Chains A and B, each alone.
Chain A
Amino acid sequence: MISEMSLEIFLSALVDGIALGFIFLMFSLGLSIIFGLMRIVNFAHGSMFTLGAYIGYEIASKTGNILYGLLAASASMALLGIVIERFLLKIRREPLAQVIITIGLMILLDRLAWIRWGDVSYIWYPQWLEGVIYAGPIIIYKYRLFLIVFGLFISILVYILFTKTKYGLFVRAGIDDREMIQAFGVNIERVFTATFSIGSMLAGLAGFLLVPWQGVYPLIGTNYLLNAFAIIIIGGIGSLEGTIIASILVGIIQQLCAYYVPYLTEVSLFIVMLSVLLTKPSGLMGKVIE
């Protein structure tokens, strides 16, 4: 009896962990594209998560349709990404200057969100995703199941976009040798702007998808940013497969810790990260980085 109970708890923690892992996945895929591929240490990524969540919440709660919320969150963040990359990050190419610019943006956007929405935590549910499903002894929240399905869909889409299409080829080639790809007549600047915008879009999307589960408050994005950086380091910088594996792994580990050893919830991720870094500094799937 007791073992059955603990198995139930374990399984529902596992499902929760996978769902959280897919949120992490969308968020850190965006960061992995920007930081891993384009080598921009983007501290503003967390703020885009927050802003996307807020904007999606506003639209979705007005219209009552989750689709409009998803569209609004992703479109607005994609636009913001284009603006940031075109008008701020292109001016100064040095990595340190870009770090400071994104830190400035992080501070600014977080505070703007705080001024507009205040300290209150907002939460909103779509009607048809409320409630739970009984799968034998396990109780699964409908929304978390939806998260898993949707996250799988998005991550496969992004993975195909960056590994199988011509656009992805341009991006990877441009990172290896910028001048060579320009000699082939590809406008690499535009490709990079599009890449940055896709990364920001994923952040906004992940932010909005977290609203029905954990709500949205001003510092949520910045809190999750540390997790995303950790995931990218664990998976290996510049490796999309590594990011996918690491985020699911981290989601599961964090949820299991939350169920069984709550005082290690936050630390568990960083202990994993430290042990990975100490044994293999380039991450699980990463190549050697300079």
Chain B
Amino acid sequence: MRGVTPFLFYVLLLAAPLLFDYIAVVRLVTILSYAYIMSIFALSFSILLSYLGLLNFGHALFFGFGAYMTAYQLLWLGVPYPIAIIISALIGSLLGIAVAFVTRKAFRGIPFAFITLTVQLIVYFLYRRRELRFISGSEQGLLIPLPEIFANVFIPLISVIVISILITECIYDLKREFSENLANNRSRYIYLLWIISLSIIYVIILHTIMLMLSSRSGPYRVSFNLYVMSLTLLFIVYMFLKKILNTNLALVWIAIRDIEVRAETMGYNTFKLKAYALALTGFVAALSGGLYIIYSQTINPDTAFSPLVSVYGLIYSVVGGLYLIEGSIVGALTVTIIERYLTDFLGGWNVVITGILFITIIIFLPRGVSYYSWIIWRTMWQKLSILVLGKKFEKAYAVKRNS
């Protein structure tokens, strides 16, 4: 069952706000929604870095354009938010193709990093000029009115639809997996166990969301809606990217990353394939930009195009761990939560501690947080399943580990 673990995480995180209510950390909902938005951004950055070896220091260009395009559509054209965000994501992917054409001559390594950084900096410094205040908002930024959709009571139901689709898919998967030996007594037992647990999860989620809908109102509902929206989008983007990275396209990307000339001699048009990757990551990054403006309610050149945004993309993906796309999500969550909470406790010293943390994580956890947490997770499951299901499973795991 490949799809179950991310699904479980999704469901647990979706139910988390209720838990936060009980232990009185309501602020965590806002922090986590920021972390999810940044995870989407980090995902796009990390794919470009780990599958194509392209370090994109100008990745904030896509993020900023996504944010500004969404803002323009909301402010000037009055486009409804869901359509606006999709249009700006498409613009982001077009921008990715444009960047690919600009960097055509030096599409690797340090020159690529610095060409994209330059393009981004030109946009950044132009947007910061006071002469362009009417489109950039200058230092104060453009104020974005909250789209009506976020005050809507029924937003959380989107997640219910997603979950229903996923559960049906899960059941089909299970059926396929167990179809050969459903006559076997134990298999049938495990199959039933799966179905029962899935339905229990479904009921719990429905209950949680109904509770949320009925008891909450006002500003809390907005932040809860944003939480659900960003989490669901993160999940959809994650599953979508996972699907893409399982195709042959990703294999060719890896071939290009390792030795580009070899891929070229094998007859692949490497420029076209890299442009695809840039279009894909541009789409995803612009999507995160479109979500970000709802979180911050304002957008200015410093939050959109500052080089620090791309640097944070790099930090998220390296702290979380490269070559595993889950890594960037873990990295974004870790870094964001640590940073936000340190601000509460330490005041001015928070940034110092953050810097020390980055250095220690890189030195002592060289493969990223996600790798080590995955190992802990795996050993925990092994121990648990051996404890619950008996000695028979120990042998199965031993065989798996050897192979």
B158 contacts the other chain (Cβ, under 8 Å)? no
In the bound complex, do residue A274 and residue B122 qualify as a contact, i.e. CB atoms below 8 Å apart? yes
Given A114-B348, A277-B115, the answer on whether A104 and B121 have CB atoms closer than 8 Å is no
In the bound complex, do residue B318 and residue A100 qualify as a contact, i.e. CB atoms below 8 Å apart? yes
A71 contacts the other chain (Cβ, under 8 Å)? no
Q: Report the count of interface residues on B (CB-CB < 8 A).
A: 39
Query: Which residues of A, 243-290, contact B by the 8 Å Cβ criterion?
Result: 263, 266-267, 270-271, 273-274, 277-278, 281-282, 289-290
Given A237-B110, A266-B125, the answer on whether A274 and B362 have CB atoms closer than 8 Å is no
Residues of A within 8 A of B109 (CB): 289-290
B32 contacts the other chain (Cβ, under 8 Å)? no
User: Given the complex of chains A and B, what is the CA–CA distance between A184 and B115 in angstroms?
Assistant: 39
A99 contacts the other chain (Cβ, under 8 Å)? yes
Rounded to whole Å, the gap between the CB of A231 and the closest CB of chain B is 12
Rounded to whole Å, the gap between the CB of B357 and the closest CB of chain A is 8
In the bound complex, do residue B318 and residue A96 qualify as a contact, i.e. CB atoms below 8 Å apart? yes
Given A88-B363, A91-B363, A281-B111, the answer on whether A274 and B118 have CB atoms closer than 8 Å is yes
> Which of A100, A263, A267 sits near B122, CB closer than 8 Å?
A267
Q: Name which residue of chain B comes closest to A104, CB basis.
A: B358
A66 contacts the other chain (Cβ, under 8 Å)? no
User: Given the complex of chains A and B, what is the CA–CA distance between A91 and B355 in angstroms?
Assistant: 17
Residues of A within 8 A of B128 (CB): 266
In this complex, the member of A96, A106, A114 whose beta carbon has the largest number of chain B beta carbons within 10 angstroms is A96
B314 contacts the other chain (Cβ, under 8 Å)? yes
B131 contacts the other chain (Cβ, under 8 Å)? yes
A101 contacts the other chain (Cβ, under 8 Å)? yes
B106 contacts the other chain (Cβ, under 8 Å)? yes
In the bound complex, do residue B355 and residue A107 qualify as a contact, i.e. CB atoms below 8 Å apart? yes
Residues of A within 8 A of B356 (CB): 104, 108
In the bound complex, do residue A281 and residue B355 qualify as a contact, i.e. CB atoms below 8 Å apart? no
Proximity string of chain B (99-141) to chain A, C-beta cutoff 8 Å, 1 when within and 0 when not: 0001001100111001101110110011011010000000000
A115 contacts the other chain (Cβ, under 8 Å)? yes
Residues of B within 8 A of A103 (CB): 311, 314-315, 358
Task: Give the interface residue-count category, chain A.
Answer: 35 or more
Q: Name which residue of chain A comes closest to B356, CB basis.
A: A108
In the bound complex, do residue B111 and residue A270 qualify as a contact, i.e. CB atoms below 8 Å apart? no
Query: Which residues of A, 73-115, contact B by the 8 Å Cβ criterion?
Result: 88, 91-92, 94, 96-97, 99-101, 103-112, 114-115
Residues of B within 8 A of A100 (CB): 314-315, 318-319, 358-359, 362
Residues of B within 8 A of A96 (CB): 55, 314, 318, 322
Residues of A within 8 A of B122 (CB): 267, 270-271, 274
A226 contacts the other chain (Cβ, under 8 Å)? yes
B351 contacts the other chain (Cβ, under 8 Å)? yes
Rounded to whole Å, the gap between the CB of B142 and the closest CB of chain A is 20
Proximity string of chain B (359-385) to chain A, C-beta cutoff 8 Å, 1 when within and 0 when not: 100110010000000000000000000
Query: Which residues of A, 222-249, contact B by the 8 Å Cβ criterion?
Result: 226, 229-230, 233, 237
User: Given the complex of chains A and B, what is the CA–CA distance between A277 and B105 in angstroms?
Assistant: 9
In the bound complex, do residue B363 and residue A270 qualify as a contact, i.e. CB atoms below 8 Å apart? no
Residues of A within 8 A of B354 (CB): 104, 107-108
Rounded to whole Å, the gap between the CB of B356 and the closest CB of chain A is 6
User: Given the complex of chains A and B, what is the CA–CA distance between A65 and B365 in angstroms?
Assistant: 47
Q: Name which residue of chain A comes closest to B49, CB basis.
A: A96
Residues of B within 8 A of A107 (CB): 351-352, 354-355, 358
Residues of A within 8 A of B129 (CB): 263
Rounded to whole Å, the gap between the CB of B200 and the closest CB of chain A is 42
In the bound complex, do residue B348 and residue A273 qualify as a contact, i.e. CB atoms below 8 Å apart? no
In the bound complex, do residue B358 and residue A101 qualify as a contact, i.e. CB atoms below 8 Å apart? yes
In this complex, the member of A92, A101, A105, A277 whose beta carbon has the largest number of chain B beta carbons within 10 angstroms is A277
> Which of B314, B348, B359 sits near A115, CB closer than 8 Å?
B348
Q: Name which residue of chain B comes closest to A289, CB basis.
A: B110
B307 contacts the other chain (Cβ, under 8 Å)? yes
User: Given the complex of chains A and B, what is the CA–CA distance between A226 and B307 in angstroms?
Assistant: 9
B349 contacts the other chain (Cβ, under 8 Å)? yes
User: Given the complex of chains A and B, what is the CA–CA distance between A109 and B319 in angstroms?
Assistant: 20
Residues of B within 8 A of A110 (CB): 351
In the bound complex, do residue B362 and residue A101 qualify as a contact, i.e. CB atoms below 8 Å apart? yes
User: Given the complex of chains A and B, what is the CA–CA distance between A273 and B121 in angstroms?
Assistant: 11
User: Given the complex of chains A and B, what is the CA–CA distance between A107 and B109 in angstroms?
Assistant: 25
Given A101-B358, A104-B359, the answer on whether A111 and B131 have CB atoms closer than 8 Å is no
In the bound complex, do residue B355 and residue A278 qualify as a contact, i.e. CB atoms below 8 Å apart? no
Proximity string of chain B (155-186) to chain A, C-beta cutoff 8 Å, 1 when within and 0 when not: 00000000000000000000000000000000
Residues of A within 8 A of B111 (CB): 233, 277, 281-282, 289
Residues of B within 8 A of A281 (CB): 105-106, 111, 115
Given A97-B366, A111-B352, the answer on whether A277 and B359 have CB atoms closer than 8 Å is no
Residues of B within 8 A of A273 (CB): 114, 118
> Which 4 pairs from chain A and chain B are nearest by CB?
A108-B355, A281-B106, A104-B358, A107-B355
User: 13 A-B pairs, CB-CB below 8 angstroms?
Assistant: A97-B366, A104-B355, A104-B357, A104-B359, A107-B351, A108-B352, A111-B348, A263-B131, A270-B121, A270-B125, A274-B115, A277-B106, A277-B118
Extra pairs beyond A103-B315, A103-B358 (4, CB < 8 Å)? A92-B366, A97-B318, A100-B359, A108-B356
Interface residues of B (CB under 8 A from A): 55, 102, 105-106, 109-111, 114-115, 117-119, 121-122, 125-126, 128-129, 131, 307, 311, 314-315, 318-319, 322, 348-349, 351-352, 354-359, 362-363, 366
Interface residues of A (CB under 8 A from B): 43, 88, 91-92, 94, 96-97, 99-101, 103-112, 114-115, 226, 229-230, 233, 237, 263, 266-267, 270-271, 273-274, 277-278, 281-282, 289-290
